[in-house]
Amino acid sequence: MNDHKKSRAGGNFLQILRIREFGAIVGIAIFFVIFSVISDRFVTIDNLTTTFTMASELGIIAIGVTMLMISGEFDLSVGAAFAVGPMIFAIMINNGVNEFLAIAVALALGAGIGFANGVITIRTGIPSFITTLGMMMFWRGILLAVTGGFPIMLQRNIPLLKYLGGRVAGGLRYSALWFIVLAFVFWIILERTRYGNWNFATGGNIGASKALGIPTTRVKLVNFMICSALAVFAGLTTFARFKIVDPTLGQEMELEAIASAVMGGTLLTGGYGSIFGAFIGALMISMVRNGLVLAGAPAYWYRAFIGVILIIAAVINARIRKKVAG
């Protein structure tokens, strides 16, 4: 227990390390400096706003994924939900359905996918990794079956879409504003509400939570629903930008969302994490993609690079966490 003495001596330093997003903040700052040195086009309003907008569609998914991961579960089907939402929306619009109704149905379908993920996982006790992997395959199959492999195009002009993914100014789109709002809302929910407290507890020690009367099943179920609904919402913002939905839209997005969460300090095994961290994680992924392009690196390098960053980030975050949280 000599940790006690250490923690007293280095109190201030520990207080800084206790900021769960510490690693991510330092990381993104480093990349920011590197890319601004490499390319003088990097630090321009236009490029930064574009980078941020690109981060938003991933980041909105990452918010839900982070909530769910903190409660100790996992969702591999968010990429599929990301495509299914806009597909349903597009089909309904093309068949003359009111756009508000279409959005509501798409979001409800998202929540429904999450509900199914949650109920199957909790009732049967199989790992959510498997449940959601199956769910991902199922919806990918449905997407291909319904579209025949061809993209679905929007056949009507829907002004409402402007407020999902249209331009605000320069490279900044409404999706970026939604990202900020949603990140803030879920940050409050996680850090400053009773639900957030229960979320950490459920993932941290489910036995203790149950013994203390925390409704862990409900917490997980709600998280699954939030996660899928946010994925659908993110898909709709992307759709608002392209007005077209490809059945392969959002493939591997589930992995990037998990990567964002992990870079932001969230623990794969639950009980620890941060919405603000995921926010920065998504931003970091987008920034690296953008920075490498500007640096003239071939596009293929981006994935390799993200892979390396992910591992390094996970290692550093684990080290810091051992110091402050055990």
Partner 1 sequence: MSEEIVAMRDIKKSFGRVQALKGVDFRVKKNEIVGLLGDNGAGKSTLIKILVGYYQPDHGEIFFDGKKVKFRSPWDSRRLGIETVYQDLALVNLMPLWRNFFLGREMIKKIGPINYIEHRKMKRIAIEALKQVGISLRSPDETVAFMSGGERQAVAIARAIHFGAKLLILDEPTAALSVGETKMVLEHILKAKERGISVIFITHNIYHVYEVADRLVLLEHGEKIGDYRKKDVTPKEVMDIIAAAAGVK
Q: Contact positions toward partner 1, by CB under 8 A? A: 1, 3-4, 7-8, 11, 15, 18, 188-189, 192-198, 200-201, 204-205, 207-215, 267, 271-272, 324-326
Backbone angles phi, psi at 272, to 5 degrees: -150, 135
**Closer to partner 1 at the Cβ: 191 or 246?**
191
Q: How far is the CB of 89 from partner 1 (least distance, A)?
A: 27
d(CA 227, CA 279): 15
Residue 272 and residue 69 in contact, taking contact as beta carbons nearer than 8 Å: no
**Exposed/middle/buried for 156, CB within 10 Å: 0-12, 13-18, 19+?**
exposed
Min. distance of Cβ 254 from partner 1 in angstroms? 25
To the nearest whole angstrom, how small is the minimum distance from the Cβ of residue 17 to partner 1?
A: 11
Nearer to partner 1 among residue 210 and residue 243 (C-beta): 210
User: Rounded to an integer, what distance in angstroms lies between the CA atom of residue 297 and that of residue 170?
Assistant: 25
DSSP SS3 for 152 = strand
301-325 vs 253-263: helix crossing angle, rounded to 10: 40
Nearer to partner 1, 55 or 275 (CB): 275
| Shortest distance, position 72 Cβ to partner 1, whole Å | 11
According to DSSP, the residues that pair with 172 across neighbouring strands are 169
Residues 1-4: contacts with CB within 8 Å, 24+ apart? none
Judged by beta carbon, residue 125 or residue 213, the one nearer partner 1 is 213
3-state secondary structure of 229: helix
The nearest distance, CB 321 to partner 1, in angstroms, is 8
Q: Please say which residue, 4 or 123, places its beta carbon nearer to partner 1.
A: 4
